[in-house]
Structure 1
């Protein structure tokens, strides 16, 4: 068996076996099994399967359920996956750094409740007031400017705060 204490040698150089690393452990929302909820809508959503270590699609009923529920596979992977999506080789470093929302970005879109009839309290970013404001989301057809918490909304859409040091008093 491989372990960190027993290095494996290839061409005379010691290297640790990758199998010596512990398997990722998923907790919190990511460890929950998906729940369709008691309502009868048919909304395709994504959940993280901690046993397979992958995001999988399921049909959500539109209300209830748990927090292991994402509108897109990418949201699921960014939250739960051990292999989070990263930028592709050759993509500029700026793609990895949070940028303020541009006019064409999802953060400039108006709130959109969608055609479904659920009633989820959500937040959208108002580009004019530069604030995250509450709205009611129907449960499907999100335009992307749709966040479960104000903090999540601000983190994604609000321009980064400029830090100014306080002057030292004598």
Structure 2
């Protein structure tokens, strides 16, 4: 006789801040100075800095809202309004860069990769699939609500089984 014991364990896991949010602000190179925003993990705030227009690192955002959405523990405060961006069409922007980003495809109700040019575009652009999924997936129609109160919360289900043979 073979007995199979199965159980499912729900585990809550708080995912830490994305790696690029922990980078120090980098002014980059060039002569096309403009303001950008970086995330400061010591204060959980997004602050402006002078960006020279080329190179730098991934802790650089065009708008404070984008910085908060991708890095801050207070991202839930902007999530409902950001969900409206899920209805916008994908826009690659108008510059020469090539940066991996994610956008929400409402036809397939999933987030997909695309190459962002580095400037312009719209709010349907996320640094990682997790931010995109938490903001957009499962949202339909005119009534847009965030999927969760906090973007860093995930639940994993672990399925295990044990077989015992008794002779």
Please, what TM-score do these two structures have when normalized by structure 1? 0.54
Any conservation in 1 of the 2:37–2:46 contact (CA below 8 Å)?
Answer: yes
Any conservation in 1 of the 2:70–2:126 contact (CA below 8 Å)?
Answer: no
Higher percent of residues as strand = 2
Secondary structure at 1:153 match in 2 = helix
CA distance in 1: counterparts of 2:120 and 2:51, whole angstroms: 13
Q: Which runs of 5 or more structure 2 residues have no equivalent in the other structure?
A: 1-16, 139-146, 148-167
Q: Which has the larger radius of gyration?
A: 1
Aligned residues: 124
Please, what TM-score do these two structures have when normalized by structure 2? 0.55
Q: Cα offset for 1:134? A: 1.5
Larger RCO of the pair (alpha carbons < 8 Å, separation 6+): 2
CA distance change for structure 1 residues 147 and 63 in 2, over 3 Å: closer, same or farther? Answer: farther
Q: Partner of 1:148 in structure 2? A: 127
Q: Cα offset for 1:33? A: 2.5
Q: Which runs of 5 or more structure 1 residues have no equivalent in the other structure?
A: 1-25, 88-94, 161-170
Aligned 1:1-80 pairs, distance under 5 A: 29-38=20-29, 44-49=35-40, 54-60=45-51, 64-77=55-68
Tell me how large the CA RMSD over aligned residues is. Answer: 3.8
